[in-house]
A and B are shown apart, each in its own frame.
Chain A
Amino acid sequence: MSSWALTVGHWRRVPIRLHASLPIGLFVLSGLRFAPLDWLCLTGLVLLHELGHAVVVRRVGARATEVMLTGFGGHCAWEGEVTPLGRAAIASGGVAAQLVVLLLALATWALDLWPQGEVASTVLSAATMRNGYLIALNLLPLPPLDGAEAWAFPYRLGQRARVRLTVMKNVRHAGGDVVSAGSGSAEDQAKRLAAQLLSDARKEEQK
């Protein structure tokens, strides 16, 4: 844990910390001008991104330990053992959260529900254009950007879908009588199916 950071709050017991380099990064990103609203919007976007990671970390059964916002972006530290799909999901969680905000902002704007005024216009610009650029940047497949791992998410999702489909087909094929008969609990059916698979495997071994 960096001593150059200040804890400003918690999200589900995960400390949210601002690193000393954050103001410098915001100043540079806003074109070296004094623009507190821009800084606030950027900080909000980065925070949203990191919280997106933290939410997925929880969903896949790991534990987020820290959310840090720095001058170079931010990072969500976590611990625990996750599957490769879970790891890829964590990497894409940040961008997913940004996409949700982008789509909501676009929908609100398109439906003419977005409020008028200078502040509202700056926030809209941050939630759409700036958010879009950050998403595009983050998804470049280069470490340490999220894109280096995030693109594995749809790929692994596809793999999982195929495996599930294959298993479902095999269950219907191999244990058709067991499943369709609907006799016994799901656990019994699974056990019978496992026994059948074992006997098939033994036969295969003996060949």
Chain B
Amino acid sequence: MTTLLTLLLVLAAAFVVAFALGFARRPPDPIRQLKDRFITLSRLSRAQAELELLERVESLAERYPGKSYAWYLEWLVTDLERAKR
């Protein structure tokens, strides 16, 4: 039974360590990822793409007010992806 208790302790310790590692690591910024995806898909220079993005988000916000910034970004990226297919 000592073996089993050791196993359980090792498992619990490994679980805690993995959890702590996940907690400590900075999570990826979804907005940054969506922006980068938009820039890649738009095939424009970064400055041009960011300007284009700003304009499109503003126009979307007028059409669909009250949504989150991520929502608009996701909408635009999905739209571009659909257009590319």
B45 at the interface (CB under 8 A from A): no
Given A128-B4, A135-B7, verify A194-B66 contact (CB < 8 Å). Answer: yes
CB–CB A159/B25 < 8 A: yes
On chain B, the residues within 8 Å of A132 by CB distance are: 3-4, 7
4 tightest A-B CB contacts, nearest first: A158-B22, A158-B23, A154-B18, A155-B22
Q: Is the interface of B mostly helix, strand, loop or mixed?
A: helix
CB–CB A139/B11 < 8 A: yes
For this complex, into which size category does the number of interface residues on chain B fall? 20 to 34
CB–CB B23/A159 < 8 A: yes
B29 CB to closest chain A CB (Å) equals 10
Residue of B nearest to A157 (CB): B19
B20 at the interface (CB under 8 A from A): yes
Residue from the list B7, B8, B24, B68 in contact with A198, Cβ < 8 A? B68
Given A102-B4, A128-B1, A139-B11, verify A194-B68 contact (CB < 8 Å). Answer: yes
On chain B, the residues within 8 Å of A162 by CB distance are: 22-24, 27
Q: In the assembly, what is the distance between CA of A156 and CA of B28, in Å?
A: 12
CB–CB B1/A106 < 8 A: yes
On chain B, the residues within 8 Å of A166 by CB distance are: 27
For this complex, into which size category does the number of interface residues on chain A fall? 20 to 34
Q: In the assembly, what is the distance between CA of A196 and CA of B65, in Å?
A: 11
CB–CB B11/A135 < 8 A: yes
**Which residues 189-207 of A sit at the B interface, judged by CB distance below 8 A?**
191, 194-195, 197-198, 201-202, 205-206
Instruction: Mark interface residues in A145-169 (1 if CB within 8 Å of B CB, else 0).
Output: 0000001011111111111001000
Q: Is the interface of A mostly helix, strand, loop or mixed?
A: helix
A129 at the interface (CB under 8 A from B): yes
CB–CB A151/B18 < 8 A: yes
Given A157-B22, A158-B20, verify A163-B7 contact (CB < 8 Å). Answer: no
On chain A, the residues within 8 Å of B67 by CB distance are: 194, 198
A136 at the interface (CB under 8 A from B): yes
Q: In the assembly, what is the distance between CA of A159 and CA of B27, in Å?
A: 6
On chain A, the residues within 8 Å of B61 by CB distance are: 198
On chain B, the residues within 8 Å of A201 by CB distance are: 31, 57, 69
Residue from the list A136, A154, A191, A206 in contact with B7, Cβ < 8 A? A136
Residue of A nearest to B17 (CB): A154
On chain B, the residues within 8 Å of A102 by CB distance are: 4, 8
B49 CB to closest chain A CB (Å) equals 12
B21 at the interface (CB under 8 A from A): yes
On chain A, the residues within 8 Å of B8 by CB distance are: 102-103
Given A106-B1, A135-B7, A205-B54, verify A159-B22 contact (CB < 8 Å). Answer: yes
Q: In the assembly, what is the distance between CA of A153 and CA of B21, in Å?
A: 12
Instruction: Mark interface residues in B25-68 (1 if CB within 8 Å of A CB, else 0).
Output: 10100010000000000000000001000100110010001111
